[in-house]
């Protein structure tokens, strides 16, 4: 294919025809109008379903689980389920997943070995004599001799990765078994009693354990004391205090000079603030908005999103998605009289704020995040277009005391955490 003729975003006719059909779900309508990505490095191979079936014959798929393949998140099924969606796979085949798992496992096994070796000895001279593995790399960059070693190691890794690059593993048509580089310098596979499946399983299980170990190592550095039993190199100095190791979860607070208590000079209230509704101008004219266009405005402390439906009807809703307060103005789509959150695909009616679909995307992750927050409708504001003297400027009915009410609720909660806001205690 000529790169000049490459158009990465092309709407196939069959998908456009599907998008024009009546839909029962907003999320499904969105999925069918997404553009299709062309791959001009796939070698012309056509992907075919079979990821879940390929998992059933992989080594280690049923470790400690009997005959059932362990895939609680359903990653192996995403390839098959999305095959008819775009004919060019967005989700990887299980071949790519296994290749990635083995590579990460091997890297982590080498890393754990390196941490242990670095803690007990170093190659000196000419390399820096540093036992703390978290500081070694910085010292290597600073040392001229060590920099040459880093360049050599990086060059070898680059050549190996390029030579054994898993072409077509994403679509399940790699010409070798995942992780099989043909590397056997000791000729172990040539022995008559050699069990290949058993050795593959050992490598896989040790790699998984090493990945968990490196995650623990990262936690021990980021959160001192979170892994009390880990005391290699950097952990002995960062986690331990003197000769004793910090207990899990212990936090050391530096001594701070005590300040004299003083009364705040800020004016605030903890009383209940009642709503005060008023029609306020937004600075946006109806003629300034095209169908499906959105504009965000801050009106008397209210974050308002003004837009038009596909039919050209003006609406005003809260700009923050009720899920995790994602700004709807940053990429929300308007389909008919429905607005769709750009982050997790939650959809709401622009007329009533009614929830239609809660966090459907991305698959698995979106629904899981939706379980954390209670389902809510989207805030809707009454809207009108001004008369002749206002030149058609859009007005919304908002609570002018919204900011005061929020601040009063905040101060009451802050003071109640220390005692009642009237000076007494619980």
Range of the structural domain that residue 287 is part of: 277-416
Is pLDDT at 39 greater than 50 in this prediction? Answer: no
Q: Is residue 11 part of a domain?
A: yes
Q: Looking at the structure, do residues 232 and 309 belong to the same domain, yes or no?
A: no
Q: Looking at the structure, do residues 241 and 162 belong to the same domain, yes or no?
A: yes
Q: Is residue 47 part of a domain?
A: no
Q: Looking at the structure, do residues 348 and 212 belong to the same domain, yes or no?
A: no
Q: Looking at the structure, do residues 398 and 295 belong to the same domain, yes or no?
A: yes
The CA–CA distances, whole Å, from 423 to 15, 372, 420 equal 66, 36, 6
- Exposed/middle/buried for residue 285 (C-beta within 10 Å: 0-12, 13-18, 19+): middle
pLDDT at 307: 93
pLDDT at 37: 39
Conformation bin of residue 172: beta by default, left when phi > 0, alpha when psi is -120 to 50: left
Domain CATH code at residue 170: 1.10.3460
Is pLDDT at 27 greater than 90 in this prediction? Answer: no
Q: Looking at the structure, do residues 316 and 393 belong to the same domain, yes or no?
A: yes
Distance CA 290, CA 295 (A): 11
The structure's pTM equals 0.43
pLDDT greater at residue 385 or residue 412: 385
Q: Looking at the structure, do residues 100 and 147 belong to the same domain, yes or no?
A: yes
Closest CA to 55 of 81, 82, 76, 80: 76
Q: Looking at the structure, do residues 290 and 382 belong to the same domain, yes or no?
A: yes
Q: Looking at the structure, do residues 161 and 210 belong to the same domain, yes or no?
A: yes
Q: Looking at the structure, do residues 318 and 225 belong to the same domain, yes or no?
A: no
Give the 3-state secondary structure of residue 276. coil
Is pLDDT at 223 greater than 80 in this prediction? Answer: no
pLDDT greater at residue 241 or residue 304: 304
Q: Looking at the structure, do residues 240 and 288 belong to the same domain, yes or no?
A: no
Q: Looking at the structure, do residues 107 and 238 belong to the same domain, yes or no?
A: yes
Closest CA to 36 of 75, 89, 78, 81: 89
Q: Is residue 354 part of a domain?
A: yes
Q: Is residue 257 part of a domain?
A: no
Q: Is residue 271 part of a domain?
A: no
Under 8 Å between Cβ of 240 and 231: yes
Domain CATH code at residue 299: 2.102.10.10
Q: Looking at the structure, do residues 309 and 412 belong to the same domain, yes or no?
A: yes
Looking at the structure of the chain, the number of domains it has is 3
Under 8 Å between Cβ of 41 and 165: no
Tens digits of residue pLDDT in 258-297: 455 455 445 667 777 788 888 888 888 888 899 999 999 9
Q: Is residue 72 part of a domain?
A: no
Residue 75 CB contacts under 8 Å (≥ 6 apart), including other chains: 91, 94, 97, 364
Tens digits of residue pLDDT in 317-335: 999 999 988 889 888 999 9
Q: Reduced to 3 DSSP states, what percent helix, strand and coil does the chain have, rounded to the nearest 5?
A: 35, 15, 50
Distance CA 416, CA 193 (A): 73
pLDDT at 265: 47
Distance CA 131, CA 401 (A): 61
Q: Is residue 68 part of a domain?
A: no
């Amino acid at each position: 294919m000529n790169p000049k003729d490459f158009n990465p975003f092309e709407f196939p006719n069959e998908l456009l025809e599907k998008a024009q059909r009546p839909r029962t779900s907003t999320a499904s309508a969105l999925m069918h109008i997404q553009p299709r990505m062309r791959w001009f490095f796939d070698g012309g191979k056509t992907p075919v379903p079979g990821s879940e079936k390929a998992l059933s014959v992989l080594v280690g798929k049923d470790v400690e689980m009997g005959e059932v393949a362990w895939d609680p998140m359903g990653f192996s099924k995403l390839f098959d389920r999305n095959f008819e969606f775009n004919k060019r796979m967005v989700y990887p085949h299980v071949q790519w997943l296994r290749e990635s798992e083995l590579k990460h496992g091997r890297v982590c096994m080498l890393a754990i070995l390196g941490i242990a070796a670095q803690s007990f000895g170093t190659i000196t001279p000419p390399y820096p004599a540093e036992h703390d593995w978290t500081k070694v790399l910085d010292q290597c960059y600073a040392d001229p001799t060590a920099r040459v070693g880093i360049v050599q190691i990086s060059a070898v890794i680059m050549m190996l990765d390029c030579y054994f690059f898993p072409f077509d593993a994403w679509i399940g048509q790699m010409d070798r078994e995942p992780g099989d580089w043909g590397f056997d310098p000791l000729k172990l596979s040539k022995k008559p009693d050699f069990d290949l499946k058993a050795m593959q399983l050992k490598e896989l299980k040790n790699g998984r354990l090493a990945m968990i170990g490196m995650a623990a190592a990262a936690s021990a550095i980021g959160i001192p004391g979170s892994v009390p039993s880990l005391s290699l190199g950097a952990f002995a100095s960062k986690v331990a205090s003197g000769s004793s190791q910090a207990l899990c979860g212990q936090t050391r607070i530096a001594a701070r000079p005590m300040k004299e208590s003083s009364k705040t000079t800020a004016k605030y209230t903890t009383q209940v603030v009642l709503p005060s509704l008023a029609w306020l101008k937004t600075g946006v004219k109806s003629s300034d908005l095209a169908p499906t266009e959105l504009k965000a405005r801050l009106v008397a402390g209210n974050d308002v999103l003004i837009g038009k439906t596909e039919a050209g009807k003006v609406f005003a809703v809260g700009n923050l998605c009720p899920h995790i307060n994602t700004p709807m103005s940053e990429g929300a789509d308007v389909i008919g009289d429905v607005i769709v959150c750009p982050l997790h695909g939650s959809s709401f009616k622009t007329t009533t704020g009614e929830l239609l679909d809660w966090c459907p995307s991305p698959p698995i992750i979106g629904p899981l995040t939706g379980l954390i927050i209670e389902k809510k409708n989207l805030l809707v504001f009454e809207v009108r277009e001004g008369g002749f003297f206002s030149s058609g400027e859009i007005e919304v009915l908002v609570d002018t005391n919204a900011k005061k009410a929020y601040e009063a609720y905040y101060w009451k909660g802050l003071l109640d955490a220390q005692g009642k806001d009237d000076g007494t205690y619980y």
